[in-house]
Structure formats: C-alpha cells, structure tokens
Chain A
Amino acid sequence: MSTPVLETENLVKVYGKGATRFDALKGLTFEIHEGESVAIVGKSGSGKSTLMHLLALLDEPTSGVVALGGEPVTALKPKKVSQLRNDTFGFVFQQFFLNPNQTVLENITLPLKIAGVGKSERNRRGMEVLEQLDMADKAKNKATNLSGGQKQRACIARALVNNPTVLFADEPTGNLDTATSEIVEDILFGLHRDQGITLVVVTHDEDLAAKCQRRLMMQDGEIVTEEHGATGVHA
C-alpha cells in the first residue's frame, strides 16, 4: 500500500483543566490514503470537528502525532504549517464564508492570493475552476447575490483553485436543500472519482456518509466503528 497521505497516532485532545477537563479525542490512530474518500460521522460533541481541525492542521493535539505524507507536522513552525495548509488542503465550509463585498472570482482566488500568485495567473486559474463548476458566468457577480447552491459551488471552487491533495468538507450540505445538496454531492464525489482527490467529509448526514468509501463512526472522542465500501449511488 502507498504511504498514507494523512495518518495519526494516539491522537489526544483535551480542553480545559481539572473539574472542567474535557477529553475531546481519546487516542485515535488511523490512516487516510491518497485518493480515498473518508467520512467522519458522529453526533455533535462526538469529537468529529475537533478531529477534522487536527487533521487539517488548524489546531494542535494535546498529545499524539499527525503526519502528512509520512512526515510528522507537530514539530513544524506555525508559518510552515500555514504554508502546508495553503499548498495541500482545500476547505469547504457549511457556512461558505464568502466575502460578500468581493466578486466570486476574487473570493475563489483568495488561496492563490495568500500563496503569492500574481493577479493575472490567479484570474486565469480561477476562471478555469469556475468553468469546471459551471460558474464562469457568475465570476463578476458579488458573492452576496448568489443562491445557496451557487455559494457552495463557489466555496468548492475556492477549495479547488490551488489543486489540493486533500479536500476537507465540513457539513458541506448542511445549509442546502435536498435538491441542491445532491448537486453539491455529485460535484464532490465527481472530483474524487475523476481527479483522484482525497476527500475527507465531516457530517452527521448518514446519506452523505454512505457515499464515501470509508466511514469512521465517532462517539465520545473515540472511533467506535469503521465501515468500508460505499453504499451510495456513486460506488
């Protein structure tokens, strides 16, 4: 088997101290391989969001190791970690987090801007991604004028614009109606299938989880069961 793109070893996250101590993660060890689609499933408070934050290098574990491409990242400097996030990850958020004052194109090219890519190159790659997601005609629109589905597509475009290895999606369909949800899911799994992108989905939606190749069921900071094989339509 290839080197796992992400792996954890005895991952522990504790919030607070003494009486208010809360063990969010109680020693998780697992691997995510390149090209996999993984769902982290659990109720709220199960630790799934904490786990995603640790995997996405947005937070540091209390103890344990997160390794990216076989290399532990715990020891890296914050600046290097920021750069790794920018290079390797794409993020799709439930609340979209689009800047309402900026155009769609400006919004989706933000990761490239942060990476220090020149403006013309940014716009070229931004338009490419927008075309891929059938959003090219909305490029000059202000983000605030989009519908929910369009916003999430813009959000996916932003996540894809830096050609990430891993795409993190935090409740990507949480704010969408059923029909729109399906479109967004199609896009995400299409990317996974056609471009071999590694997909990590955090959700409490069983239907969405079912479409992933692997599901990590979380409860009280532990992975209680692990299921393999997609049961959804996109097997």
Chain B
Amino acid sequence: MRSVDVARTALGNTFRSKLRTALTVVAIVIGSFTLTLTSGLGAGVNKYVDTVVGGFGGSSQMFVLSTGAADAEPTDGPAEYDPEAAASSGGMFGPGSGGGVLTDSDIETIEEIENVSAVDPMVFVSPDFIETPDGAQYDLELDVPANALGLELAAGDAPGDDGMELSIPEDWLTIFDTEDAEQVIGETVQIGISNVTGEQSTVEAEVVGVSEEALSGIGATPMPSRELNQQLNDLSMEGYEGQAQNAYTMAVVDVENIETNEQGVKDALVEEDLLGLTVEDQIGAVQGVIDAVSWVLSGFGLIALLAASFGIVNTLLMSVQERTREIGLMKALGMSSGKVFGLFSMEAVVIGILGSVIGVVLGLGAGLLGNAWLTGEGGPLGGVAGLTLFAVDPLAIIGITALIVFIAFLAGTLPAARAAKKDPIEALRYE
C-alpha cells in the first residue's frame, strides 16, 4: 500500500463517524489552544522585557557597582565598624540605600582592567524644582542619563550626551498647558538645585523629548542629558569644604568583545570588591520568572492534552473493534501487519493534526485579539507604552503542532498495535 493511499484512507476513515471524531478533536483543540496562548503570552511579555531592558544599555556594556551596594548581606546583630568601608560609603552623596558607592579611585581601577574601553560613572542629582516659562515651579526628581536608551518617546528625541537638554513624561504636558507633545519640544525650563551650604542656583535646559512611561518605570520622570546631569552635580557640590570626593552610584563600562571577555572582566572586578552585571544578567532574572510562569501555564495545557490523548486511545479502540472484519479482510487480502499499524497510527495523526491546527488558529486569534483589546488605545493596559502581551513565535507554533501530533501518534500506537495483531481468520468470523 502506498503512503499516499494510507494517508488518504486514514483521512477518509477519520470522517466515517463524524461526531466521535469531532468530540475527540475538541479535546485536543482545548489543549493546543491553551498551549498556543500560554507560549504566545510568554513570548509577548519576554519580547516586551527585551525591548524595555534593551534600553538600559548596549549589549557591550556592563554595569559596575560596589560590592557593598549589591551584597546587602544581613548580619546577625550590629555589623562591626570598618573604617575603610565607612569611608567609601558615600555619606550624603550616596544613593540613600546605605550601600557602597564608587569613588574616583575605583573608576581609575576599572579603567585599568584589561578589555575595558570606556568607563562612564553615573551620579544621581536631587534638584529642587523645575520652572516653566510662565514662572510656575514644580517638584523635580530626575532619572539617570544612562537610562536614556530605554526611553519610549511620544515626540522629539532622547536627551543626548552634550547640551543642556531633558525629556519630560507625557503626563507633565499639563504644566505647559498643552496636550500636544510636539508643542513642548524646544521649550526652555529652569532647574533649581541647592548646594551643600543650602544656596540655591538655577540652570537653563531645553525640552527635547516627551517620553511615555514604560513598564520598567523609565520615562515616568524627566531625564537630563549627561551634560545637564553633570552641571547639576557640580552645582550641588559647590561650597563643599575639605577634599571634595566624587561618589558614583554605579558606572557603565564598555567592554570589548563582551562574549569572550565578560568573565575575565567580572573576575577582575571581583578582585577589586566590585560587581559587574551585564544587561543579560539583569534581564535574565526577570525573564526567568516570566518563563517559569508561562511554563506553569503551559503545564495546564499539557494536562489537557494528556486527557485528550486518552480520548484518542478510546476513539481508536472503538474504531478498531467496529472495523474488526474490515481489518481481517485487509489482512486476508495481503495487507501486512506493519501497514495495518501504519493505517491506524495515521488516523491518530490525522486527529492530532486536525486538533492542533484548529487549536493553534483559535489560540492565535484569541491571543492577537486579546492583545489588541488589552493594550490598544483605550484598553485596560493601553497606557503602558510598547506593551505586548502576546507575540507569534513561529518556532513555538511549529513545536506545539509537532508535539501534539507526536502525542496523538503515541496515543494511536496502542489501538494500532491491537489492529495489527488481529488474526485474519478470527477477525473475519467476528460478528
């Protein structure tokens, strides 16, 4: 019997008892629908995390923290006083979390590490207010310039390295009495900041962009350019008596050939009591959680499929029983046991293909429609810029279909083996 005839016959036989086949297929559809939805959900959210976190820096970059900041190891009772650690803990210039900061000597040390091409120390500044052209003043908290790449812009550009620039979030448009993001581009604002002695001074900055709030929080506060940030920092340091010691919360380090040198640089940093984290290190944890959740959800889909596979076994066992004489006839007329097995396995595969295709199509439809509704204009999650809850991953879809067809085939082997084992004489006598 030719393969094409086996396939055609199997297809024909599948539709012989339509209701029974339909019910079995429905069970598989539920499983494949669930799997498509959960994997699409995982892919969608991960894709979103990728784009958001992609903004935290190029892939050749590493974020370096003082180990004190990263390892806030809990101690039993009060920790022993360590003058060196206390000195490097930046006092009023620290990030406020009480962790370690990077000093100028740390930065020099990092610069000397092999394969490090550039070091960009980052400082947090705490300005007092922002003043609009009409003279109104508002509280101001600034983001760090290193996050600029992660900005989702509604209008204009991200603040650059040079120039006294900043971006403002979309909901700050009200302070300019406008709803049109384009209109505030080019507006000039004053930013006020106090130095260590409490004296206030102002700098002028230009609004170059309007940001949307991303799920990561980037874009929810105004973001200065590097130059503006540095200027503000310098102003805040004015009047500091004694040896002014710069303190940085972290440094962005460019590493040459990060794939090969990543571990080397990290090891060198550890020796200096510093911690290097790549973008992957940071998003890895987030995506790990998302993956875990989507795997758990997929687990439910697999359970549904497991139940459905028993449906296939049941359906085909009934079919084998009903067609005992037909099987006997085929064997008497010279069909080998192998081909009989193939024919019935093929019927299981046909059921599997039907169920998986219908389920995948329904799952994709539901996922894409749901995504459009939830994250679209006016949807419950419409306010989160760039959010995707569902993405089509062709590989995953092919994988799901293949998995279901394979499960269907496995389920079909028991009935098919039973059909193949039938003795033609007994089968032809069967009433």
Contacts of A119 in B (CB 8 A): 5
Closest 10 pairs (CB-CB, A-B): A86-B334, A85-B334, A82-B336, A114-B335, A97-B329, A82-B334, A79-B336, A111-B333, A116-B2, A114-B1
* Closest CB in chain A relative to B20 CB, distance in Å: 14
**A83-130 residues at the B interface, CB under 8 angstroms:** 83-87, 91, 93, 95, 97, 99, 101, 110-111, 113-116, 118-119
Using A79-B336, A93-B428 as known contacts, list a sample of 19 further A-B pairs with CB atoms less than 8 Å apart, ordered by residue number in A. A56-B332, A59-B425, A78-B336, A79-B337, A82-B334, A83-B334, A83-B336, A84-B334, A86-B334, A86-B335, A91-B333, A97-B326, A97-B329, A113-B2, A113-B5, A114-B1, A114-B330, A114-B339, A116-B2
CB within 8 Å for A114 and B333 given contacts A79-B338, A99-B326:
yes
A-B contact pairs, 10 of them (CB 8 A): A56-B332, A58-B332, A59-B425, A78-B337, A85-B334, A91-B333, A97-B329, A110-B330, A113-B5, A113-B9
Taking a contact as CB atoms under 8 Å apart, the answer to whether A114 and B334 are in contact is: yes
Taking a contact as CB atoms under 8 Å apart, the answer to whether A101 and B332 are in contact is: no
Assess whether B325 is interfacial by the CB under 8 Å rule.
yes
Contacts of A99 in B (CB 8 A): 326
Q: Which residue of A lies closest to B2 (CB)?
A: A116
Contact with A along B320-347 (1 / 0, CB 8 A): 0000011011111111111100000000
Contacts of A111 in B (CB 8 A): 333-334
- Chain A interface mostly: helix
* Closest CB in chain B relative to A106 CB, distance in Å: 9
C-alpha spacing A85/B331, complex, angstroms: 9
Assess whether A138 is interfacial by the CB under 8 Å rule.
no
* Closest CB in chain B relative to A11 CB, distance in Å: 16
CB within 8 Å for A110 and B333 given contacts A97-B325, A97-B428, A99-B326:
yes
Contacts of A53 in B (CB 8 A): 425
Assess whether B418 is interfacial by the CB under 8 Å rule.
no
Taking a contact as CB atoms under 8 Å apart, the answer to whether B332 and A85 are in contact is: yes
Contacts of B326 in A (CB 8 A): 97, 99
* Closest CB in chain B relative to A91 CB, distance in Å: 6
C-alpha spacing A53/B328, complex, angstroms: 13
Contacts of A82 in B (CB 8 A): 331, 334-337
Q: Which of B2, B333, B425 has the most CB of A within 10 A?
A: B333
C-alpha spacing A56/B424, complex, angstroms: 12
C-alpha spacing A86/B9, complex, angstroms: 19
C-alpha spacing A193/B1, complex, angstroms: 32
Contact with A along B388-431 (1 / 0, CB 8 A): 00000000000000000000000000000000000011001000
C-alpha spacing A53/B332, complex, angstroms: 10
* Closest CB in chain A relative to B420 CB, distance in Å: 11
C-alpha spacing A93/B430, complex, angstroms: 14
C-alpha spacing A220/B199, complex, angstroms: 125
**B278-334 residues at the A interface, CB under 8 angstroms:** 325-326, 328-334
Contacts of B9 in A (CB 8 A): 113
- Tell which of B334, B338, B425 touches A115, judged by Cβ atoms closer than 8 Å: B334
* Closest CB in chain A relative to B422 CB, distance in Å: 12
Taking a contact as CB atoms under 8 Å apart, the answer to whether A86 and B2 are in contact is: no
Taking a contact as CB atoms under 8 Å apart, the answer to whether A58 and B339 are in contact is: no
C-alpha spacing A83/B1, complex, angstroms: 11
